[in-house]
Structure formats: C-alpha cells, structure tokens
Amino acid sequence: MAIQWFPGHMHLTRQAIAERIKDIDVVIELLDARLPGSSANPLLAELTGHRPTLKVLNKQDLADSTRTPAWLAWYNAQPGTRAIALDASERAPAQRLLAACRELAPERKGLSRPMRVLICGIPNVGKSTLNNSLLGRFQAKTGDEAGVTKQEQRIVVADDFYLWDTPGMLWPRIIVEQSGYNLAASGAVGRNAYDEELVALELLLYLQRHYAQALLDRYKLDLPLAQLQALHDDELLTAIGKKRGAVMSGGRVNLQKAAELVLTDFRSGAIGAITLETVEEFAAWLAVGQAKEAERLARKAEHEKRRKKRRF
C-alpha cells in the first residue's frame, strides 16, 4: 500500500517557500530523529537550491542514541550542510541553532545585515514547539497531530535574527514505500490517508527484528524473545490487544483499537527509544524506490507516445 498525502494547503506552502527563499540566508530543516531519512523532504532541496542548510534531528530523546550519530555524520558530510540533534522542548539546546546558523552564514550579522532563516519540516515534527523554545515563551500553536500550523509565521528571535516558520509539508509523491509507513507511524500523515492497522503491522514487523526486547518490556508478553520474533505480525498485534484490554464481546480482539494503542505508544516513546531506519537501510529503500519510479515514468512516457501516435 503506497501512502501519499499532499493536501491543498501544502501546495500553497510550496508556493510560499519558492517565493520566500529569494531573501533567505539559511534554511533549517527539522527532521524526525526516529526517521532521519524518511523525514527529509526532497521537494525542499529543489525549492531551496544551494542555500546553506542546517539539518536538525529533532525529538532525539525519542530516538535510538546508538543510531543518531551515524545519521549526524552522514548529513554533516553533505556539502553546505550542518547537522545537530535536538530536543526542541529544552531551551539550552535550542540556542545552538542560532550559533549554527551564524556559522553557515557568518557575513550576516548586525542590524544592517540581519540573519534571515527559513524553518521547514514535515508535519508534526516539532517546529512550533522549537519556535516557542527559541523565544522562551508560548507563541506558536502546537499539537500532536499533522497540520496544526497552516500559514507562514514571522518570528523575531533577536534584533538581527528573523525566522520564518512554514507549515509542515510533505511532497507530492513518496517513492520510498517504507518511508510512507514510517511517516504515518510518526504522525506526519493525516489520519484519513492511511490504514492504522496496516501501519501498526509494518511498525511491529520492524520492531520485532530490531527492538524485540522493548516490545516484551512494554507489553509484558509472556513469551521467550525468540518466540516473539517468530510471531506473524498480526499474531503479535492480537497478543498486544489482549494484554492492553482491546477486547470486544465474545473475546475477540479489536485490532483497530490495538493498532491505535501501538501507534500512540511509539509516538510518545512509551515503547522505548527507537529509530526506524539506519543510513544503510534507507539508502537501499531509496534505490528500490528510484528504480520503480524510473520504470513508472518510462511506462507513462511510452503510453503518451502511443497516445499521440494514435491521434495522428
């Protein structure tokens, strides 16, 4: 199942970024530290051109600390790019953003040449929370769901530091299938765009392979580790539903309710500190996605060629 979500307000955001970028010195892209590859928007790279970019792996407290350094190293190796990990709810780390931006554009300082920064990211990645942290007070609306911010906001961080916050934006076509599932699991995709049970099953399949002990600990499953890893994903979801009381009359497990519980536990960090992809895994997924997309475009071009030939 391919997950896609690009509602009308995201199209408007794309247009706003294309217009705003002309006057921007540094672009901050907030990434979800639990899915650092899947949450990077390829559309932003097209829109922002060669602007210096700061990649912020947000929600690092929810991510696997053994995997985050590899992602930081990978992004820091990209030209014109710096990467840091951050928990946006903490004020002291948030201040590192200002210093990092000034390093990327050292010529921008003082009232005559103020720093102009555009902050972008997928929905529900924590931009509004970060903005409030930078300001030291509540200003931007926050919420644990995709699409809370709907229009661009200008924020004066300091006399010579201006920040433009844009609504969360995905991209018109997600070509990496696993990225669609990971984005949905994180809460970056609108609820009407995916089947929660299917997303929970995909999530559990990955957790079985890489975080089986965390599942045992969270759901108090009376199973040896090896047996849990051998369960079919729907059997695991059923077992979790029974443990968490998602049971209907007749003793049947409400799989929809069980799926909602699993997704809520992942998003809140209740299962543990988890990262759903390594640098190597994402590179492999991307290669497969690019190959399939190339085949799709080739078929489309061939179909259009035949259509035009029939017309004449």
Span 156-206, pLDDT tens digits = 888 888 889 888 999 999 999 999 999 999 999 999 999 999 999 999 999
Instruction: Examine the domain organization and report whether 26 and 157 are in the same domain.
Output: yes
**Least confident residue range of 89-98, 137-146, 256-265, 274-283:** 137-146
CA distance 73 to 250: 53
- Helix crossing, 196-210 with 212-219: angle to 10°? 120
Instruction: Examine the domain organization and report whether 125 and 237 are in the same domain.
Output: no
Please report, rounded to a whole number, the percentage of residues in the chain having pLDDT higher than 90: 64
Instruction: Examine the domain organization and report whether 35 and 133 are in the same domain.
Output: yes
**Confidence check: pLDDT of 41 > 80:** yes
Highest mean pLDDT: which of 5-19, 122-136, 151-165, 193-207?
Answer: 193-207
Instruction: Examine the domain organization and report whether 157 and 86 are in the same domain.
Output: yes
**Confidence check: pLDDT of 138 > 50:** no
**Confidence check: pLDDT of 37 > 50:** yes
CA distance 134 to 156: 10
Which residues constitute the domain of residue 77? 8-165
Residue 278 domain flag: no
**Confidence check: pLDDT of 226 > 50:** yes
Q: What pLDDT score does 173 carry?
A: 92
The pairs formed by 49-52 with CB atoms below 8 angstroms and a separation of 24 or more are: 49/21, 50/80, 51/21, 51/24, 51/25, 51/26, 51/27, 51/80, 52/25, 52/26, 52/27, 52/80, 52/81, 52/82, 52/104, 52/105
Instruction: Examine the domain organization and report whether 126 and 235 are in the same domain.
Output: no
**Confidence check: pLDDT of 276 > 50:** yes
Count of domains forming the chain: 2
CATH classification at residue 237: 1.10.1580.10
CATH classification at residue 146: 3.40.50.300
Instruction: Examine the domain organization and report whether 19 and 117 are in the same domain.
Output: yes
Residue 287 domain flag: no
Instruction: Examine the domain organization and report whether 47 and 118 are in the same domain.
Output: yes
CA distance 75 to 200: 29
